[in-house]
Amino acid sequence: MTIRAGWPLIQPQPRLSILIYHRVLSEADPMRPDDPDVETFDRQMRLLARYTRVMALDEAIERLERGDLPRGATAITFDDGYADNYSNALPILQRHGLSATFFVATGFLNGGRMFNDTIIEAVNRAGDGGIHLGELGLGHVPTSGTATRYYAMERITQAVKHLPAQARQQALELLLERVGVPVEGGSPMMTDAQVRGLHEAGMLIGAHTVSHTILRRLDDATALREISDSRDYLSGLLRQPVRFFAYPNGRPGQDYGPRETRLARALGFRAALCIARGGAAPGSDLYQLPRYTPHSPSPVKFLAQLMRCSREEAQAVF
């Protein structure tokens, strides 16, 4: 019995499994262990195409609402707007005949850099001497060796990711000053032309705020502006409505709450996506659709994680 034929046993009730990716790297990077390289991503897409029913997000949501979602239904999403989504992920998706939705933080297009990328590059350039970051409540942060640098990156990220955009930028400037070596190289983010290229290739484009700040930390006017400006920029770029939204970071009750779901509804989005383990079932809140990533590079473990999560109905509650 193949897995596809066995979905009624694996998944007694239909669930929509929505997978989330951020980057597809040209080669593996120990500082980005959750981001697959092209070989791993190609293998995962081959498995999804063979064993599940990958659907475009808009079709999947329509069928979820109608109650005729097939078992094994899966949708693929990407967050943030990295250029390797276009250069590395798109050709693989096309090779396997798959669709995906790309949620773009518009403030970083055309030469920008997200804060986590600046942190990784700064830590990599710090050498073995460590970084003193007492102002961030971290004291002396060791940076000798790959494992230690990864831990340093995690600590710094957690210290700054929930700050308002201006305070976060000030923290990054402090970090770069302490490292004493400027971050070099081009932007890792997409250009407008690459976003249009994804759209022209048949992929869906969704909004992901302007600056990828944590919405619950913002006042009402700023939260509204972050979401609506992102939507409007992309709508103008693509010359059509942008119907889907993903909450930055996306943890229910921590990174977004009832106010944010109301904003997503009021701004006319068809659905909004969060980060929660499990699958969406008929009757799930369309403004808290769960997403997760089966992280294992092992094909067997990848499928096992996918099947286990797809059996669970996510409870995205505040």
CATH of the domain at 90: 3.20.20.370
Packing angle, helices 165-179 and 115-125, rounded to 10: 10
Q: CA-CA distance, 202 to 196, in Å (whole number)?
A: 10
Amino acid identity, residue 115?
F
Q: CA-CA distance, 97 to 108, in Å (whole number)?
A: 29
**Do 204 and 102 share a domain, yes or no?**
yes
Residue with tokens 């970071």: 249
Strand pairing of 271-273 and 139-141?
unpaired
User: What mean pLDDT is predicted for residues 20-37?
Assistant: 95
Residue 274 has what pLDDT? Answer: 96
**Do 101 and 16 share a domain, yes or no?**
yes
Q: CA-CA distance, 41 to 89, in Å (whole number)?
A: 8
Range of the domain at 204: 7-110+189-311
Using CA atoms, how far residue 237 sits from 104, 111, 113, 200, 205, in Å, is 12, 16, 20, 12, 11
* Residue 78 contacts residue 21 (beta carbons within 8 Å): yes
* Residue 200 contacts residue 182 (beta carbons within 8 Å): no
**Do 57 and 171 share a domain, yes or no?**
no
Residue 5 has what pLDDT? Answer: 64
pLDDT in tens, 226-267: 999 999 999 999 999 999 999 999 999 999 999 999 999 999
Q: Is 274 a member of any domain? A: yes
Q: In this model, does residue 7 exceed pLDDT 80?
A: no
Q: In this model, does residue 49 exceed pLDDT 60?
A: yes
**By three-state DSSP, how is residue 313 classified?**
strand
User: What mean pLDDT is predicted for residues 91-111?
Assistant: 97
* Residue 160 contacts residue 136 (beta carbons within 8 Å): yes
Closest CA to 216 of 270, 169, 159, 274: 274
Residue with tokens 């710090």: 126
**Confidence grade of residue 162 (pLDDT, cut at 50, 70, 90):** confident
**Do 62 and 206 share a domain, yes or no?**
yes
* Residue 207 contacts residue 244 (beta carbons within 8 Å): yes
**Do 147 and 106 share a domain, yes or no?**
no
Residue 6 has what pLDDT? Answer: 64
Q: CA-CA distance, 104 to 81, in Å (whole number)?
A: 5
**Do 128 and 260 share a domain, yes or no?**
no
Residue 318 has what pLDDT? Answer: 62
**Do 167 and 207 share a domain, yes or no?**
no
Strand pairing of 139-141 and 131-133?
antiparallel
Name the β-bridge partners of 313: 279
pTM score, two decimals?
0.93
**Do 92 and 228 share a domain, yes or no?**
yes
State both tokens at 57.
Answer: 């997000």
State both tokens at 250.
Answer: 């996306």
**Do 105 and 143 share a domain, yes or no?**
no
Residue 259 has what pLDDT? Answer: 97
Residue 57 has what pLDDT? Answer: 97
**Confidence grade of residue 10 (pLDDT, cut at 50, 70, 90):** low
Say how many domains are in the chain: 2
pLDDT in tens, 276-306: 988 898 889 999 999 998 877 888 888 888 8
**Do 120 and 23 share a domain, yes or no?**
no
Q: Return the DSSP state at 111.
A: T
**Do 24 and 59 share a domain, yes or no?**
yes
